[in-house]
Amino acid sequence: MKQKKGTFASVLFFAGQYRWKMVVSVALAICSVAGGLLPYLGVYRIILLFFEETPSKEQILPWIGLCAAGYLIKQVFHGLSTTFSHISAYHILENIRLALSEKLMRLPLGDTLSKTAGEWKSVIVDRVETIELPLAHMVPEGTSNLLLPVCVFAYMLVIDPLLALSALACVPIGGIVYGIMMKNYSSQYDKYMKASNHVNSVIIEYTEGIQVIKAFNQSTGSYQKYANSVEEFKNFTLDWFRSTWGLMNLGAAILPSTLLGILPTGILLYLAGNLTPARLTLGIILSLSVIGPVSWFNTAVNDYKSIQYAIRDVNEVLGLAELLETKEEIPLKDFGISIKQVYFSYGKRTKEVFRGLDLELPQGSYTALVGPSGGGKSTVARLIARFWDVTEGSITIGGTDIRKIPLTQLAKMVSYVSQENFLFNCSLLENIRLGKPEASEREVLEAARAAKCEEFISRLEKGWDTLAGEAGAKLSGGERQRIAIARAILKDAPVVILDEATAFTDPENEAQLQASIARLTKGKTLLVIAHRLSTIKDADNIVLINKGNIEAAGSHEQMLRASKLYRQMWEAHIGAKSWSAGNKGTDRKEDMCHV
């Protein structure tokens, strides 16, 4: 979706095919206003009757009927208008939220991760929600509140132009008072939104970090930060209110005081013989009817502002640069990966991770990336999965630049399992099925068995139907990893990337898991990142990456001979393993396992 800039244009844009409901809502509101004017006409006629003679019941009743019908029309059409405006408001909310979630899919992962979950929630849920009430009410109420005074004023002009104008005597004074009050409104509202965002993020940080706060006994300090920001927000809003309440009440008292102008003028006109008592009475009644709409003005300004800010935040997200995508699926000659002269940094102001990286992963080969932490191993994996785009250079699969491959095709081709495995709060079976939504139950169970999930799932009371808990909170790191591996096994993609995918797996299960992974990855282009070097020693090509550069590459034996750093890493690893094996008194045969 291409986003629109202005608030009104954006609202219409998001209304999409429900735009006509907004139009119907306005039309119904106009009918409601027209109905609302009928009682004035009826009252006028009744007054006339009384001034002329003592009217009979038959003379009065039709006008009373007109008043009642007008009132009924007003209420019924107002109700219908509000119904239509609510329907369109909720569809606008839905369209905005869908547009935001679609956008998230097309954004580079970096942009998605640059906001916390709390910040995303604040835009997609809270900010968008603020639009509903004003939007649903602004259309019908706005129409009648703008139209009614105009119609009433036109009617008054017909009665007597001078009388009509005198009803507006207080408007300039009230306008000046409101003008002074609203002088800093935009900047104050801006500060208010910032303060509100700040207090929201502190509250979210406090609740999300409660585990760390408790573990490190930081409850007093953290609570203080939380309490301070809540207090600051309260002080800000109260100060703003205090600075405006005087003028606000003065304006609210002056602006709708139509009687101050119309009474003296009307009496003078009457005394001069230019106005009948009936017309004077009607003029006074009509002038009173504009008080409500004028008072609505204050609420409308606030409502408009909240819509404006919500739309601004939404448009900001929708305006973020997307990963460029082609739509047509491209036939690839094979699934060999070629990284050529790649330059990359995570942001404009962050240090470059790669400055001219070259790496070949031939079709069906097994490549392992090893090296000190922070060297860029995971970044290589993420760039191949196109979570980010390279700054310069290219990554090709089967000879085609991955930027030219549709994201859906790329996602089908690449299985990516990392340390952080998000599980949805649905059953464990469904979590595995995500790898291949059309898979039969038998296929899912087979994948789960291959990933060694059976053993821990059988211990759970509800077995396969156990809900994973939010973000898989009910499972251990190793168990989550095994579910993620089962997903990858089920997906059966031609390119498999395992970024420390078995790091949390306990040594007892690791050998068997590795054997399953070996079966899964047979004939596929496989990239494994692992710090347990024993698990990757049989790779076709072990690549040592240090500070974004390839320091050495080759088979395990070649690397032991050629790279001092690799040798040191290997010895440290073997030392750690034998120490741990000695402690456990077990024979660590999995050292020899194959991936």
Q: Pick one of 54, 217, 350, 458: the residue that binds ligand ADP (CB under 6 A).
A: 350
Give the tokens for residue 542.
Answer: 């072990």
When the beta carbons of 218 and 549 are compared against ligand ADP, the nearer one is: 549
Number of neighbouring beta carbons within 10 Å of residue 590: 21
State which of residues 379, 431, 502, 563 lies at the interface with ligand ADP (CB under 6 A).
379
CB 78 within 8 A of CB 32: yes
Query: 511 vs 485, 517, 541, 595, CA distance in Å?
Result: 14, 10, 21, 9
Q: Are 40 and 282 in contact (CB under 8 A)?
A: yes
Minimum CB–partner distance for residue 384 and ligand ADP (Å): 12
Q: Which of 70, 142, 261, 375 binds ligand ADP (CB under 6 A)?
A: 375
Among 251, 376, 398, 494, binds ligand ADP (CB under 6 A): 376
According to CB under 6 A, which one of 373, 438, 564, 585 is a site residue for ligand ADP? 373
Site string for ligand ADP, 86-125 (x = CB under 6 A): ------------------------x---------------
Return the number of the residue (378 or 502) whose C-beta is nearest ligand ADP: 378
Q: Which is nearer to ligand ADP, 2 or 351 (CB)?
A: 351
Q: Which is nearer to ligand ADP, 99 or 529 (CB)?
A: 529
Question: Whole-number minimum distance, CB 194 to ligand ADP, in Å?
Answer: 25
Query: Closest distance between ligand ADP and the C-beta of residue 406, in Å?
Result: 24
Q: How far is the CB of 203 from ligand ADP (least distance, A)?
A: 25
Summary count for the chain: helices (H), strands (E): 23, 10
Q: How far is the CB of 115 from ligand ADP (least distance, A)?
A: 13
Question: Is 346 near ligand ADP (CB under 6 A)?
Answer: yes
Least Cβ distance, residue 110 to ligand ADP (angstroms): 6
Q: Which of 373/458 has CB closer to ligand ADP?
A: 373
Query: Which H or E run contains 394?
Result: strand 392-397
Per rule CB under 6 A, count of chain residues that contact ligand ADP: 11
35 or 548: CB nearest ligand ADP: 548
Here's the x/- map for ligand ADP, 351-370, by CB under 6 A: it reads as --x-----------------
What angle (nearest 5°) sits at the alpha carbon of residue 156, between those of residues 155 and 160?
125
DSSP conformational letter for 93: H
Q: How far is the CB of 379 from ligand ADP (least distance, A)?
A: 3
Closest CB to ligand ADP among 400 and 419?
419
Q: Which is nearer to ligand ADP, 447 or 543 (CB)?
A: 543
Nearest by Cα to 197 from 296, 309, 298 = 309
Contacts (Cβ under 8 Å, ≥6 apart) of 569? 370, 533
* Surface-to-core class of residue 238, CB atoms within 10 Å of its CB (0-12 exposed, 13-18 middle, 19+ buried): exposed
In the complex, what is the shortest distance from the CB of residue 401 to ligand ADP, in angstroms, rounded to a whole number?
Answer: 21
Residues 336, 337, 340: CA angle, nearest 5 degrees? 140
**Smallest Cα–Cα separation from 188: which of 302, 31, 58, 330?**
302
| H helix or E strand, kind and range, residue 298 | helix 291-318
Q: Where are the alpha helices (DSSP H) in 107-215?
A: 109-113, 117-121, 128-159, 161-167, 170-181, 185-208, 210-215
**CB proximity list for 264: less than 8 A, separation 6 or greater:** 166
Which CB, 111 or 160, lies closer to ligand ADP?
Answer: 111
User: Residues interacting with ligand ADP, by CB under 6 A?
Assistant: 110, 346, 350, 353, 373-379
